[in-house]
Chain A
Amino acid sequence: MNDNILEIKNLVVHYVTDTTTVHAVNGMTISLKKGESLGLVGETGAGKTTTALSIMQLIPDPPGKIVSGEIRYDGQDLVAMSPAEKRSIRGNKISMIFQDPMTALNPVLTVGDQIAEVVRLHQKISRAKASIKAQEMLELVGIPGERYAEYPHQFSGGMKQRVVIAIALACNPELLIADEPTTALDVTIQDQVLDLMEKLMRDRGTSLILITHDLGVVAEICQKAAIMYAGEIVEYGTLEHIYNNTKHPYTIGLFGSIPNLNEDVDRLQPITGLMPDPTDLPQGCVFAPRCPDASEKCRAAAVPVVEVEPGHFVKCVKYHG
């Protein structure tokens, strides 16, 4: 038995329609230790949210399909579980925070009832006890407990996201998946929400997968980072590895796109081109068409993953052999 709370092995997820097949996630392998927090970084369409939904076993089917691979939570394969077993894990052991707090709360239920609901779904306690628990959760995320009986529309965006966090953490999950939790919020509120999340996770020893396209956010609260591109993880390692010993050309390109406070530059260095069409991925390395260092070797065959230093994995031929 190892201490990995989550292990994903060779996960392949396709969205199949009558005419095309979208290759959303292609052979993704990743693991997460207890109490660890991982930042999953990538562009729009890189397959981050699909990965999150696969872990929750909430891929809309049809058209989505987990073609192959395993997702092991605490050693059990989530893909093979019965619907009832999946339900008992969702919200209880693994919770998810959605991107847009404006739409993630049910407009006709009070926020307190929504927190109490998840508690009552997973714990056999009375309605009264659940509502006390809900009030405690509200206080915990910095909302006065008296606002228990108010409706989502009476809260601001930042407070709604706090409520969403309260719902997600109400059952003390071991793993929290946050899908761009701060994207819909303004910058000052972003910071507050991130601080709150970080504090709660640290207090409770919850593991975190943070999905974002913001490398700054990852640097703030994660210990590890995985860079996703076109459904694959191209670079994976600790923050130290990713930020200070950047290997993959795509990651280098990402950092080149961020303005640096200490340097005076006229123009940023964006990555040229666009993500490949997920219905028609290129042969060989998926990043090759945009890669400044691409060679014939890149386009020829699938690229192996190389461990360039302990715990630092890169999927690029440059570091192979």
Chain B
Amino acid sequence: MADNEVLSVKMKKRGQSKEIWRRFVKNKGAVLGLAFIVLLTILALVPSLIAPYGFDEQMLSRRFKAPSLEYPFGTDEFGRDIFSRVIFGCRISLTLGLVSVTISCLIGIILGCISGYYGKVVDNIIMRFIDVMLSIPNILLAVSIVAAMGTSFFNLILAIGIGAVPGYARVVRASILSVKEQEYIEAARSNGASDWRIITRHIIPNCMAPIIVQATMSIAAAIIQGAGMSFIGLGIMPPTPEWGSMLASGRAFIRDYWWVVTFPGLAIMLTVFSINLLGDGLRDALDPRLKS
């Protein structure tokens, strides 16, 4: 008897995720974004299965070939297949975006929570620190971190991640300030919930909408910034195929060989666009209040 009841509760729970999925699927743009991200993830996981050539396979006899059946995106100044390089570049860009956003998201949420929930002196100290960070241009901050720690993939991720922390901290703090005044927070306190429990179970879930928006936007921003850092030579070093560095090395030939920069650029653009679509869709689907 008791087991049956537990079972029915569990089934209801599964019904909820189904419900979220149903709402998500309704949003055509979000599904499109998700499909493209899934495709990119597959490319990032097994690039060698799909790419027709290796990313560093040079052949000077086939320099600057225009896009054709043999080389779908053409070839670059070393005769490397751009299509293959774009595919291999997925892994770098996606990792960069996801890992740096995870870093900044975690630090930002922690700082924002402490600052917004406890207020007073702690809030002042954290927020003034954030202000100081905000006063440094993002690219300068990233450049100095990489310059100080040396150019490597991990340092690049760290630099970009740290640069995005202030944005999160501010967004999280602002939404916590409004959520913590709600009566259900007081009700939770009157039920004997501890600060930790109130923050993690009652406040943060209610702040998810702005956090998700901020996260998806900053994944895109991180990919672009990574590309920018590679472009100025402080990110991924050639011959590793990073989209930004492909743009950087191709820019000298833009007038005669448009495909060298166009396809990596399109890849960046489409990735960023689909992540934004996905983020919007997620935000709407996860909010139980927006049920229609």
Chain A residues within CB distance 8 Å of chain B: 56, 58, 87-92, 95-96, 98, 100, 103-110, 112, 117-118, 121-122, 128, 131-132, 135, 145-146, 148-149, 151, 153, 164, 167
B interface residue count range (under 10 / 10 to 19 / 20 to 34 / 35 or more): 20 to 34
Q: Looking at the assembled complex, report how far the CB atom of A209 sits from the nearest CB atom of chain B, in whole angstroms.
A: 13
In the bound complex, residues from chain A placing their C-beta under 8 Å from that of B205 are 106, 108-109
Please give, as numbers and ranges, the residues of chain B lying within 8 Å of A118 by CB-CB distance: 191-192
Partner of A96, one of B15, B16, B190, B287: B190
Q: Is B288 an interface residue (CB 8 A)?
A: yes
A122 and B192 in contact, given A106-B206, A153-B289 (Cβ under 8 angstroms):
yes
Whole-angstrom CA separation of A107 from B287 in the bound complex: 9
Instruction: State A176–B192 Cα separation when bound (angstroms).
Output: 14
Tell me if A58 and B288 are in contact (CB < 8 A).
no
- Residues of B close to A164: CB separation below 8 A: 187
Q: With an 8 A cutoff between CB atoms, is B183 at the interface? A: yes
Interface centre among A95, A109, A167 (most CB of B within 10 A): A109
Report B-chain residues with C-beta under 8 Å of the C-beta of A91.
190-193
A56 and B183: CB pair below 8 A? Answer: no
Closest Cβ neighbor of A107 among chain B residues? B289
CB distance from A92 to the nearest CB of B (A): 6
Q: Which of A56, A90, A108, A132 contacts B2 (CB 8 A)?
A: A132
What is the bound-complex CA distance between A263 and B291, given in angstroms? 52
Q: When A and B form their complex, which 10 residue pairs have the shortest distance between CB atoms, in order from nearest?
A: A91-B191, A149-B12, A91-B192, A90-B192, A103-B183, A118-B191, A96-B190, A106-B184, A151-B288, A87-B192
Within 8 Å of chain A (Cβ to Cβ): is B188? yes
* Chain A interface mostly: helix
Q: Shortest beta-carbon distance, A130 to chain B, in Å?
A: 10
B201 contacts partner chain A, Cβ-Cβ < 8 Å: yes
Considering only CB atoms, which chain A residue lies closest to B188 in the complex? Answer: A106
**19 pairs of residues in contact across A and B, judged by CB atoms under 8 Å:** A58-B190, A91-B190, A91-B191, A98-B183, A103-B183, A107-B184, A109-B202, A117-B193, A118-B191, A121-B197, A128-B6, A128-B9, A132-B6, A135-B9, A148-B12, A149-B9, A153-B289, A153-B291, A164-B187
* Known contacts A90-B190, A117-B193, A149-B12, A135 near B288 by CB under 8 Å: no
**Would you call B28 an interface residue if the criterion is a C-beta within 8 Å of the partner chain's C-beta atoms?**
no
> Judging by beta carbons under 8 Å apart, are A108 and B288 in contact?
yes
B26 beta carbon closer than 8 Å to chain A: no
Q: Given A135-B9, A149-B16, do A105 and B184 touch, yes or no (CB 8 Å)?
A: yes
Q: Is B194 an interface residue (CB 8 A)?
A: yes
